[in-house]
Structure 1
Amino acid sequence: MCKASKTIRFCSCEDNLAKATKHLKSIFYVWTLDRVVGFSDSGMDGLAMFPSEQLDELLPEFILKELNSKKLFDFDYIPQDNDSLQIKRVNPKKRYEKKELIGDHLNFYFEFGEWHIGYISPFTYNLKVYKNGKVEVL
């Protein structure tokens, strides 16, 4: 029996991500690409929210393979060491305003010329949003 192969695409939002996805009625996925802008000097400790093992049909191993073999972003992007990509499931029926993506999510980071599953510690580095948008599952 053959399985339909799927791929993903990271579509960027020209303006505000919340505004661009406001009309969506069913569950969808958003992504945020962060870039390290320096070391954190806050001295804060805290608990990290560990990534999920999968988000519905999105498996981290599948996304990792796609990230390392294809151009998935809809803009010119050259990854830099310590870039961080987070993918989160959004349920519009439970919409609430948050600055950070919390809850069920997947994390990836770029290092030594390739993407890896995991995250960059916000307690060690200052991260700044580079781009964000909606994930399309094709």
Structure 2
Amino acid sequence: MCTPNTELQFCTCAEGNINDIKDIYIWSIYRYHGSRESLIRGKVMMPVKDFENRISAEHMTSKLNHGNIFDFDYTPQERDTIHISFNAKNRAEYKYFTLIFRDGVWQEGRNPLFVSIEKNIAKGEVKVLYKEENEFLNHCENLRCQYGIEIPESVKVTCANLKDDSQDPIYSAIKNFKEYKIFYRQEFIEYIVKTYFKIYPDENSDRLQAMIDSAQNKFSILEEKFISETENFAFLNRCFKDLDKNLEKCFFITIPFQNKETHLFINSNLIGRTGFKSNRNNRYFKNKSQKIKFEDFELFKDY
């Protein structure tokens, strides 16, 4: 069980274009100005009604219907809407829901898409304030400073209110963090194989395979390179640099659970999801003697 330790504050204090600020919660008020004909048709991303940490359509509706929660005077008009979203750095984490003022009360819903004329009249940040210092969030900040690990915002929101002795596996994995692990992405493997055998066209795969296997647990996110006091990873680091040191393109970064079999993904389009090391390796073939195998994983289907 979690103990709510948060308050929400709707403020307009952000400087510059708030949409350029990532990993924050944004509110936007739109005023209805009528309808128009439209030939536009399309699919709309489905809303997420509960972001957790008390940012939900139900909780926001209750707060709005019991007084002004903004840092300015605002009197809603019929068919005003409030769009609340998580402006994620990683697109896979983006989510939103919309509330509408109808018949004198706020409720879930929105004006018809494509045909409604609406004007944005105000926007700002939904700030999640903690009544007490939060040890879990402090721990996440330490991981960022010490290792360069960015814990997904959705995970922080979920875990921040859990009790210290919680047995939640994701909470435990982060709290008891000892190391992170990378899984190579196909694009990175393809690039290093093609580059290596262009330099050493007559070699087989043995030396490169040994290098890839050894380097997997020796990558520093902070220093953006493979590091070892006894092994030379200059070739892999050069390839990583050639690919613009793009973590998303080259690696899946994970935090292993205590059982070492399950992993929490903390980057890419899998951010916040969990999976496990597959019994089968991925393989990339250039030819029969020049081939590389690398670890693969599978995602849990219930996520």
The 8 Å contact of residues 7 and 66 in structure 1, kept in 2 or not, is answered as no
Q: Does 1:46 align with 2:42?
A: yes
Instruction: Note closer, same or farther for the CA distance 1:65–1:39 as it changes in structure 2 (3 Å cut).
Output: same
Q: Aligned equivalents of 1:115 and 1:5: distance in 2?
A: 25
Comparing 50-59 and 72-81, the one that deviates more: 50-59
CA contact (8 A) 2:19 2:87 kept: no
Task: Give runs of aligned pairs for residues 59-138 of structure 1, distance below 5 A.
Answer: 59-92=56-89, 94=90, 103-138=94-129
Partner amino acid, structure 2, of 1:18: N
Report the TM-score, using the length of structure 2 for normalisation: 0.37
Return the alpha-carbon distance in structure 2 between the equivalents of residues 3 and 104 of structure 1: 24
CA distance, structure 1, for counterparts of residue 41 and residue 116 of structure 2: 12
Q: Aligned pairs, how many?
A: 126
Q: CA RMSD in A?
A: 2.6
Q: Distance in 2 between matches of 1:113 and 1:44?
A: 31
Opposite residue 24 of structure 2, the aligned amino acid is: F
Specify every segment of 5 or more residues in structure 2 that has no aligned partner in the other structure, as ranges: 130-303
Secondary structure of 1:108's counterpart equals strand
Q: Does 2:11 align with 1:11? A: yes
Structure 1 length-normalised TM: 0.76
* Larger CA Rg, structure 1 vs 2: 2
The letter for the 2-side match of 1:8 is L
Provide the secondary structure at the position in 2 that maps to 1:89. Answer: strand
- The higher-RCO structure (CA 8 Å, 6+ apart) is 1
- Matched-pair contact (CA < 8 Å) for 2:26–2:126: yes
Which residue identity lines up with residue 49 of structure 2 in the other structure? E
Residues 41 and 16 of structure 1, relative CA distance in 2, 3 Å threshold: same
Q: 1:37 pairs with 8, 33, 37, which one?
A: 33
**Structure 1 contact 82–120 (Cα < 8 Å) conserved:** yes
Structure 1, unaligned stretches of length 5 or more?
Answer: 96-102
- Is residue 55–residue 106 contact of structure 1 (8 Å, CA) maintained in 2? no
**Which shows bigger deviation, 52-61 or 10-19?**
10-19
Deviation at 1:81, TM superposition (A): 0.7
Q: Give, as a single letter, the amino acid of the residue that structure 1 aligns with 2:18.
A: L
Following superposition, which runs of at least 4 residues in structure 1 exceed 3 angstroms of deviation?
1-7
